[in-house]
Amino acid sequence: MSNDKVFIYDTTLRDGTQCEGVSLSVASKLRLAEKMDKFGFDFIEGGWPGSNPRDMAFFAQAKKLELSHAKITAFGATRRAGSRVDKDAQVALLLEADTPYVTIFGKTWLLHVEEVIKTSAEENLKMIEETVAYLSENGRKVIYDAEHFFDGYKDDSSYALETLEAARRGGAEFVCLCDTNGGTLVDEFGSIVGDVVSRMGDMPVGVHCHDDSGLGVALSLEGVRRGASMVQGTINGLGERNGNANLCTIIPNLSIKMRRNLDCAPNLSKLRDLSLFLDEMANLRSDTRLPYVGASSFAHKGGVHADAANKVKRSYEHIDPALVGNRTRVLVSDMSGRASVMMKARDLGVDVDSKDPVIGEFLDELKRLEFRGYEYEAADASFELLLSKFLKKHSDHFKVRGYRVIVERDEFARTTKSEATVKLEIDGSIEHTVAEAHGPVAALDLALRKALVKKFPKIKDIELSDFKVRIIDSDAGANATTRVQVETKDSRRVWGTVGASDNIIVASWEALKDAVEYKLSEDS
């Protein structure tokens, strides 16, 4: 085994699903397993057979997957105290999962041995050794996860090391040191890993870290630096409590910064895609601030930063974003200068002459609008429409003559109904439409589309995918300025628009109007 080779072990499908608000269907888990295999993960932990019907269904169907590289692993525990391993139902289910690798965890910390599972130190060692041996004798390769290893080592290092030796005697292929509570700091963690690696000799050692102290990634990297050759973690850091060590941060650090040999390194440019794919499968909004893969990772807002990054990329970017499938983004705001606007325009495909005096006028208008409550960082479509109008490169597809919303509440029936009326001028003709919905914004959205759909049938293809409201100056109470940001999508793309007003209906209308106008402009 090469000294610089690091195996990537993913536990998103098991540990990641313990994250609050996350649930993955069998179909989603299967699709994720295929995606992770193509990316180059070495091990994919599929779940805990017997813990729930979903995991059993996953293992039954996973046998049909045609994976090219990754090994599916089943996860479970050592046999119960005082029982025979060949009579332990949970161990039997691990064999029934029929995976080439099995990962089992055992107790390392005497506190758990004596106070939680209430057995003796000697019986715990037998539980580890006998379970590993039984699985090995039945044709499985075993990865042994030493639960609470660092707490156990600090409490009684001799006993903690004995548990690893028990796994070795049983025939384990890896022993993995788990910082289960996520409370160990980096220096102490590295010292303990280094001691274990030296004592275990040719037995490969892995690390499994949690982010309770915000150090999951740092600990994992330190573990590798001190000799660990396997890292366990999850995509996007999903996991119980504060999450597991984030593989989407660990992998590029290992490959690009630490020059370690990873089987997934050739596919690094697909890392952001993998991150987004998990969010899609788990029905989560993507965290824009994730290192490397987040939408904000290479975003520049300040005019000085944007100008410098435009001239010399690496002046404000620690790697080429393309290496991990990301890209440079320029955010425009009241902090922006001419260079920021030029970069943003190019990014959006708008042809701009840097010497055009209208750019100065546009910047003044941008700052005025932001002072009034508008914000364009997540509203590229509204920004592009505004810039195109200043450059005389855009003409509206419709004119708004007026709109009205009526909200009716029936307290006896405890129902609410909203009715919106919209009057538009399209090619000299007036379209006057009415629509009803539970909420006023939904009614406005329906009435607007209804007015446009005869002339522009493509409007049927779009849907409002997100709607956010923020109060800008809360000290003003009910008269405060409200900013509304809308995210709209069709089958090919997603775009954001913004509106701001001291009237939430007006702000919502502006964002909705920009959303459909952008669709019509892009497709014309």
Length of the chain: 524
- Which of the two residues, 91 and 472, has the higher pLDDT score? 91
Pick the closest to residue 46 from 176, 38, 37, 252 (CA basis): 37
> Which of the four pLDDT bands, split at 50, 70 and 90, describes residue 379?
confident
Least confident piece of the model among 85-89, 282-286, 431-435:
282-286
Query: 371: pLDDT confidence band, cut at 50, 70 and 90?
Result: confident
38 DSSP β-pair partners: none
- The CATH code belonging to domain 7-282 is 3.20.20.70
**Which residue type sits at 147?**
E
Decide: residue 350, CB within 10 A, 0-12 exposed, 13-18 middle, 19+ buried.
Answer: middle
pLDDT above 80: residue 19? yes
* φ, ψ of residue 9 in degrees (nearest 5): -115, 115
pLDDT tens digits for range 384-408: 898 888 888 778 899 999 999 999 9
Correct CATH for 398-455 of 3.30.160, 3.40.1700, 2.160.20, 3.40.50: 3.30.160
Q: What is the CATH architecture of 372-386+462-524?
A: 2-Layer Sandwich (3.30)
Among positive and negative, which fits the CA dihedral 258, 262, 264, 265? Answer: positive
The torsion of the CA quartet 322, 323, 326, 330, rounded to 10 degrees, works out to -50
SS (H, E, C) 74-102: EEEECCCCCCCHHHCHHHHHHHHCCCCEE
Count Cβ atoms below 10 Å from residue 480 Cβ, excluding itself: 15
Query: Residue 67 and residue 409: Cα distance in Å, rounded?
Result: 57
Dihedral angle of Cα 442, 447, 452, 458, to the nearest 10 degrees: 30
Sign of CA dihedral 14, 16, 18, 24: negative
Q: Which two tokens stand for residue 152?
A: 């156990």
Compute, in degrees rounded to 10, the torsion defined by CA atoms 380, 385, 391, 396: 170
pLDDT in tens, 219-241: 999 999 999 999 999 999 999 99
The lowest-confidence range among 344-358, 370-384, 468-482 is: 344-358
What are the DSSP calls for 325-348, one per residue? T---EE--STT--HHHHHHHHHHH
Task: Write down the pLDDT at residue 466.
Answer: 86
User: pLDDT tens for residues 295-305?
Assistant: 888 887 655 55
Q: How far apart are CA 102 and CA 426, in angstroms?
A: 66
pLDDT at position 124 is: 94
190: DSSP letter: H
Q: How confident is the model at residue 2 (pLDDT cuts 50, 70, 90)?
A: very low
Question: Above 60 in pLDDT, residue 334?
Answer: no
| Averaged pLDDT score across all residues of the chain | 90
61 pLDDT more than 80: yes
Residue 393: which residues within 8 A CB-CB, separation 6 or more?
Answer: 350
Cα-based torsion angle of the residue sequence 86, 92, 98, 102 in order, rounded to the nearest 10 degrees: -80
pLDDT for 131 equals 98
The domain ranges of the chain are: 7-282, 299-360, 372-386+462-524, 398-455
Contact 178, 148 (CB under 8 A): yes
7-282 and 372-386+462-524: same fold? Answer: no
- Which neighbouring-strand residues pair with 432? 423
pLDDT in the model for residue 227: 97
DSSP result, 145-173: EEETHHHHHHH-HHHHHHHHHHHHHHT-S
Residue 282: alpha-carbon gap to chain centroid? 9
Q: Does 466 or 129 have the greater pLDDT score?
A: 129
Nearest to residue 189, comparing CAs of 163, 234, 154? 154
For residue 391, give the 3-state DSSP assignment.
coil
Q: Give 127-154 pLDDT, tens digit per residue.
A: 999 999 999 999 999 999 999 999 999 9
What's the CA gap between 445 and 436, in Å, rounded? 10
175 contacts: CB under 8 Å, gap ≥ 6: 144, 146, 164, 167, 168, 196, 200, 203, 204, 205, 206
By percentage, how much of the chain surpasses pLDDT 90?
Answer: 69
Q: How confident is the model at residue 1 (pLDDT cuts 50, 70, 90)?
A: very low
* CA 206/CA 245 separation, integer angstroms: 13
Minimal CA–CA distance to 482: which of 461, 466, 505, 464? 505
How far is 264 from 300, CA to CA, in rounded Å?
A: 29
* CA terminus-to-terminus distance, the chain: 58
Q: State the pLDDT confidence band at 378, using cuts at 50, 70 and 90.
A: confident
